[in-house]
Amino acid sequence: MLLDISDLIGRKRAQKEIDVSFKSNNITFEGEEIVFVEPVNIKGNFTLSGDIINFDGTVRTTLNLACSRCLENFNKSIEIEIHEKFSKFDHDEDNDLIIINNDKIDFSPVIETNIILSLPMKKLCSEECKGLCSVCGTNLNHSECNCKENDIDPRLAKLRDFFSNN
């Protein structure tokens, strides 16, 4: 997604408002595919401050994710605030600055990075998700299983016998 900022770089304007929507490609992060269910909506302002262009805005979309407990896919609506700085010149003191080479900003990597950073470490379809049975793999949200709940590791069975005799 390329955004034209030539009017800001040419100093014809000091501010530019955007409100765009686009279809994004899916993201693969740590072996998991993050699927965009809806187009990505970006709304915000670019402001010129010296040779730095600041962007402050929000990104809204719906993602399809895999639950960390039951492994089923679910949709999650997200709204993320984004604050980024761009410049054609490298400023050694500013590590958060994104260097641009021309009058257009490729906003896709910025959005992908912000989405990945906003996702929780454990993505849950619901707070009440029961997950999978550790023995047979049954999804406990849909049905019960007949596995023994206190099934013990055979390597520790003698230890169980020792404590039950005392």
Element (H, E) at 99: strand 97-99
Helix or strand or coil: residue 26?
coil
Helix or strand or coil: residue 104?
strand
Q: Provide the residue count of the chain.
A: 166
Question: Can you give the pLDDT at residue 151?
Answer: 61
Question: Can you give the pLDDT at residue 24?
Answer: 85
Q: Specify the pairing of strand 40-49 against strand 27-29.
A: unpaired
Question: Can you give the pLDDT at residue 81?
Answer: 94
Per DSSP, 132 falls in state: B
- CB-CB neighbours of 20 under 10 Å: 13
Provide the token pair at 63.
Answer: 């993602």
Question: Can you give the pLDDT at residue 78?
Answer: 93
Q: Are 120 and 109 in contact (CB under 8 A)?
A: no
Residues of the chain with pLDDT under 70: 8-10, 13, 91-95, 148-151, 165-166
Provide the token pair at 162.
Answer: 């020792």
Q: Are 34 and 44 in contact (CB under 8 A)?
A: no
Question: Can you give the pLDDT at residue 52?
Answer: 83
Q: Are 40 and 57 in contact (CB under 8 A)?
A: no
- The full DSSP string for 116-155 is HHHS-SS--S-TT---B-TTT--BTTT------TT---GG
Q: What percent of the chain has pLDDT over 90?
A: 30
Question: Can you give the pLDDT at residue 51?
Answer: 79
